[in-house]
Structure 1
């Protein structure tokens, strides 16, 4: 006997289940898993699958607490029934999907007894009238790690920051056009050459994008290149450069840029961004661990590969994928890259080290270790005028961006940046 047709919309929920499985069981980044997980799902349905998975990851501890509150025995973390309930509940409680549609489109994802369980648990939660807490809970291991590193206030600020996706930040090719683009895009500016936009359509269709007047870049991510100032034709190496936001900044600021990255696919995106923004750079596909520049540079910017826990607002999957072992692995790589880059700076030149991580092992500890090993380097505290208002310089001379900073203006990513000068 033929099975009845599945309810309309089931395909996007099945794709969302594949996305959650890729992140939570296999440890894949959400964006990296998107293509395979949504194969055969197109247009709005693909976007819906991504939204469901992202919001489920944003609220995962709270969703699981609801599920566990009405089950006699806890469902395994990787059980299809638990994942189906997460998908149904996040639709009904966060995305505004009518409950009957939320449950009917996930029931085909489970078979046999679990189907009755999913239907019963969902119905019990909906009838109770319970809502998710206003302030999301962070995964317990992350909360413990960040509380030990930064304190309770930072953890509370991080929970507030993850409650909703961040606003759109863009960096301008010409900072002198800040007022023009602020008015054109209907946004606000937190620094020269920066616009923050609350409401917008598809980015490629937004005025100024196609002609390269600006590119998407969080305000925190724009700071490393800002600290190098105007290039005036001097030579800078942008290491681990793709997809190229900082390369574009440096080129627009008058630097002669060498952009180096090991990934051919990411280099392709960098070249596309250079072409669209009408900027120039010498692009090199190479692993910095095995590559050496032909001559020293006036400046080097190393935005090192890292755990990326600082971008959890826009990529909540990092909170569930990144474990201490990954942080430790990244710290070893960062130390190797930083030691090599330090040899390539001319005397009197600058080395900017940055990472979009909230883990001290990937930020503060890296610079402390380099300074201990290299007496020819010293920290050069940045001029406060180069930083967005509200971003402080630490007493050690570096810049550490934490959740809660710029909160009244929409917040910012977590970042560590230090500018070092070779004596």
Structure 2
């Protein structure tokens, strides 16, 4: 960083790195944050850089439409000038940054490059009183894919839901007396941006933060009464804590030791107990059959786009197809671990049929010892008046008493 750079330039440089990591390298926004923010020493600068990048990703098609309408020759998608303009425009048009501050902190990012072009395009758009649409436009390939699967109403609902960061959902035993709304038992919704660490009951572990949709798979299993359950792909632990609170004897499995460390911290804070195992579901096996299984399978995460807008720009159909194969293999492997009469809940935070309905349908075609009891497809628009919810597919399956007709699982 040059000593002549305006204050705040380094936060914008971090935001530029974040956009580059997502759009050019295909990395998740959260995973890229530590490396991108390596030069920032203040937590508020780090948070601001993240906010700029996330808002730019929410608004990317509309930002690019403004840029393309103001340039004689279209800038390449990976041009540094386009990235700099995205950052300057999203600050001025969506985040309330004064235009002179937005451009002065971005121009140093193109030193030795097209500063005049960036300054000229930005200035022209500001003089024209350019504005972003009230509702963001989804990336065209995503809108087309979801329109084909779910129809125009869901695409419109998705655009409405991504317009702003989501509210805060508390699960467990949320504190009474707060100004919030309850959408399900043991749930309280608070306004977006609520600082949760200082709320009553946090230190005592009475509740945890978990989107209302993410709480639905564990709710399907009901009261445990000491029965055994495997929570597979369990970290960071929201479902594990739900199951433990509901009286299940929980074994939580996840391949990531670092994410399991967070799960263990959450269990310690809440005073709930579970056996925690670092293992790959595809190579690990339980010592005995269990009463229930919750498989929250690794997926494209396209259903949590309002919370993680980067998924709209980095997840492609090829990746969705590859993940669906993994999910099918995982579901087949764990099916043999369940006692006859037991319940298996399969869930993905995906808006793709290929990862939900098609995976379960193919599984049931292979297995005559399982039947489906309940299926939920949580689409954009659910709880919209109350602030929305993430999108999930959830299926509850029962293992029948007869053995499978083949040995493929």
Look up the match of 1:314.
Answer: 307
Q: Please name the residue that 1:247 is paired with.
A: 240
| 1:75 is the counterpart of 2:48 | no
What TM-score do the two structures reach when normalised by structure 2? 0.96
- For residues 111-141 of structure 1, the C-alpha deviation after alignment (integer angstroms, 9 at most, x for no partner) is 2451000000000000001210111100011
Residue in 2 that maps onto 1:394: none
- Residues 184-222 of structure 1 deviation map (CA, whole Å, 9 limit, x = unaligned): x32110011011001554332232222111111110000
Counterpart residue number, 1:420: 397
Q: Is the contact made by 2:295 and 2:345 (CA closer than 8 Å) also made in structure 1?
A: yes
SS at match of 1:103: helix
| Residue equivalent to 1:105 | 105
State yes or no: 1:230 paired with 2:223: yes
Structure 1 match to 2:323 = 330
- 4+ runs of 1 displaced by more than 2 Å? 199-207
Alignment root-mean-square deviation, CA: 1.2
- 128-137 or 100-109, which deviates more: 128-137
How far 1:149 sits from its partner (Å)?
A: 0.7
Q: Show the counterpart of 1:407.
A: 384
Q: What is the distance in 1 between the residues matched to 2:277 and 2:2?
A: 55
1:121-171, Cα deviation, whole Å (9 max, x unpaired) = 000000001210111100011011101111111101101110001100111
Would you say the 8 A contact 1:200–1:206 is kept in 2?
no
Distance 1:113-1:30 versus aligned 2 partners, 3 A rule: closer
Provide closer, same or farther for how the CA distance between residues 304 and 4 of structure 1 changes in structure 2, counting only shifts above 3 A: closer
- What is residue 345 of structure 2 aligned with on the other side? 352
> TM-score, normalization: structure 1?
0.93
Q: Which runs of 5+ in 2 are unaligned?
A: 401-409
The answer on whether the counterparts of 1:182 and 1:188 sit within 8 Å (CA) in structure 2 is no
C-alpha separation between the residues in 2 aligned to 1:144 and 1:200? Answer: 32
In 2, Cα distance between equivalents of 1:249 and 1:148: 35
Q: Is the 8 A contact 2:180 2:190 kept in 1?
A: yes
| 3-state secondary structure, aligned to 1:420 | strand
* Counterpart contact for 2:297–2:327, Cα < 8 Å: yes
**Mind listing any 5+ residue stretches in structure 1 that lack a counterpart?**
382-397
Structure 1, residues 267-309: CA drift from partner, whole Å, max 9, x if none?
Answer: 1111111111111001111000001110011000000000000
1:388 paired residue number: none
- Counterpart CA distance in 1 for 2:362 and 2:170 is 34
1:12 match? 11
> Residue 420 and residue 70 in structure 1: after superposition, are their counterparts in 2 closer, same or farther (change >3 A)?
same
Map 1:177-196; keep pairs closer than 5 Å: 181-183=175-177, 185-196=178-189
Q: How many residues align?
A: 399
Q: 1:200 to 1:8 in 2, by over 3 A?
A: closer
